[in-house]
Amino acid sequence: MTAPAHTRSSADLIRAEEPVLAHNYHPLPVVVARAEGTWVEDVEGNRYLDMLAGYSALNFGHRHPGLIEAAHRQLDLLTLTSRAFHNDKLAEFAERLAALTGLDMVLPMNTGAEAVESAVKVARKWAYDVKGVPDGQATIVVAADNFHGRTTTIVSFSTDETARSGFGPFTPGFRVVPYNDLAALEEAVDDTTAAVLIEPIQGEAGVVIPDDGYLAGVRELTSRKGCLFIADEIQSGLGRTGRTLAVEHESVVPDMLLLGKALGGGIVPVSAVVAKREVLAVLRPGEHGSTFGGNPLAAAVGTAVVELLETGEFQHRAADLGVGLRDGLTELVGKGVVGFRARGLWAGVDIDPAVGTGREISERLMREGVLVKDTHGSTIRLAPPLTITAEELTGALAALEKVLK
């Protein structure tokens, strides 16, 4: 890669954002101008190994050639129809996504939050139409420390005060129980419960992995009590944990599966609710929709993503390289790392506060040419593209070891 012909420096561009961009993020001070595979390059031409991968939106790396080709091909044919008309790319996308996930029907949307909102609506409708819950009384049980997005309904059931505070009044109808606690779930689910909505691994919370048996327990409990199991795999899904879906680690099939991020190949926002037929069939024309959901460009890229996952190559890479990630992190415990949780190519690493905050470690890593993101003060998240090589991963772990000293 050669340096782009920018006329403004990184420092200039960061300064220029301040008065004109909402301050809802606190990015690391790096201004990315180009990227390829696992590497990004800033305005000055400095290269960085991307160990965040757009919070798993870039599972296949930056500008994966097959995905770029699919996008280019589609750009030359048709980009948007709205769902007022059919387009020739949507049927194949839905067929192959349903087959990949072992489910029946697809509701295409754009962002992750939209998929979650859609699932909340579908679950409520299912509760009234199929389960027979009295109108207006449906409840959805969620887990503490969840992250499902940023809309007003979704932050209504967040337990993170920074995400909620100042944004009420909130949407009613949600019950929060501790994560990884089947007894609490048993108590919270009753005749009004439409669904249990959880992340199979809590990403934003710091890659929190529940005990073995929890996901199978949620499946058993929801089936027994007659409510839906909604798995939000927007961050955990599509190869990240070494399987296509994180629920596969416990051989569980949810009633509704939420996908996003990597489904758009790092090119366009593509999300989906994928569900059993008897669940998604509750929606009738006019009851839900999105101008951009299922557009031909999204469907073409989404189909190309599914095609990559059908090979199993990325799931295997995540599982194999995940062993090296785990071994490398184990070596660092007691040397600036107080603990970590990892599955596949995904890890939450708790930094010893004596060594620095998560933010400080992220900034030091940036200066070493490695990009990560902190969460909850003292944790950093590692989620590289699944295309990363063993050598690159070793390099990232060596950089982490160095900045912890």
Ligand X SMILES: Cc1ncc(COP(=O)(O)O)c(C=O)c1O
Given a contact cutoff of 8 angstroms between Cβ atoms, the answer to whether 238 and 244 are in contact is yes
Q: Which is nearer to ligand X, 237 or 336 (CB)?
A: 237
Question: Which positions are catalytic?
Answer: 147, 232, 261
Name the minimum Å distance from CB 116 to ligand X: 6
CB of 224 closer than 8 Å to CB of 365:
no
Question: How far apart, in whole angstroms, are the C-alpha atoms of residue 231 and residue 256?
Answer: 6
Reading the block at residue 197, the tokens are 């909505």
Shorter beta-carbon distance to ligand X: residue 113 or 361: 113
The correct pick among 38, 156, 235, 379 for binding ligand X (CB under 6 A) is 235
Q: How many residues bind ligand X (CB under 6 A)?
A: 15
What is the closest distance, in whole angstroms, from the C-beta atom of residue 237 to ligand X in the complex?
Answer: 9
With respect to ligand X, which residue has the nearer C-beta, 41 or 204?
Answer: 204
142 phi and psi, to 5 degrees?
A: -125, 175
Closest separation between CB of residue 202 and ligand X, Å?
Answer: 8
Nearer to ligand X, 204 or 255 (CB): 204
Q: Distance (Å, rounded) from C-alpha 106 to C-alpha 98?
A: 7
Q: For residue 348, what is the enclosing H or E element? A: strand 347-351
Residues 292-321: x where in contact with ligand X by CB under 6 A, - otherwise, as a string: ------------------------------
Q: How far apart are CA 63 and CA 112, in angstroms?
A: 21
Q: What is the DSSP letter of 105?
A: E
Fill in the per-residue mask, 168 to 207: x = in contact with ligand X (CB under 6 A), - = not in contact.
-------------------------------x---xx---
- Burial classification of residue 2, based on how many CB atoms lie within 10 Å of its CB (0-12 exposed, 13-18 middle, 19 or more buried): exposed
Our CB check for ligand X shows the closer of 147 and 179 to be 147
Decide if 51 contacts 374 (C-beta within 8 A): no
Compute CA distances 79 → 54, 284, 395, whole Å.
24, 25, 40
Please state the closest distance from residue 191 (CB atom) to ligand X, in A. 28
Q: Six-digit token pair at 127?
A: 């509760």
Tell me how far, at minimum, the Cβ of 257 lies from ligand X, in Å: 12
The CB-side HSE value for 140 (13 A sphere, CA atoms) comes to 30
- To the nearest whole angstrom, how small is the minimum distance from the Cβ of residue 160 to ligand X? 12
Q: What are the helix (H) ranges across 111-195?
A: 112-126, 152-156, 161-164, 182-188
Cα–Cα distance for residue pair 73/79, rounded to 1 Å: 10
Site string for ligand X, 214-233 (x = CB under 6 A): ------------------x-
Interactions with ligand X, residue window 260-279 (CB under 6 A): 260
In the window 95-154, what residues touch ligand X (CB under 6 A)?
Answer: 111-113, 116, 147-149
Q: Judged by CB under 6 A, does residue 55 bind ligand X?
A: yes
> Which of 111, 193 has the CB closer to ligand X?
111
Binding stretches for ligand X (CB under 6 A): 55, 111-113, 116, 147-149, 199, 203-204, 232, 234-235, 260
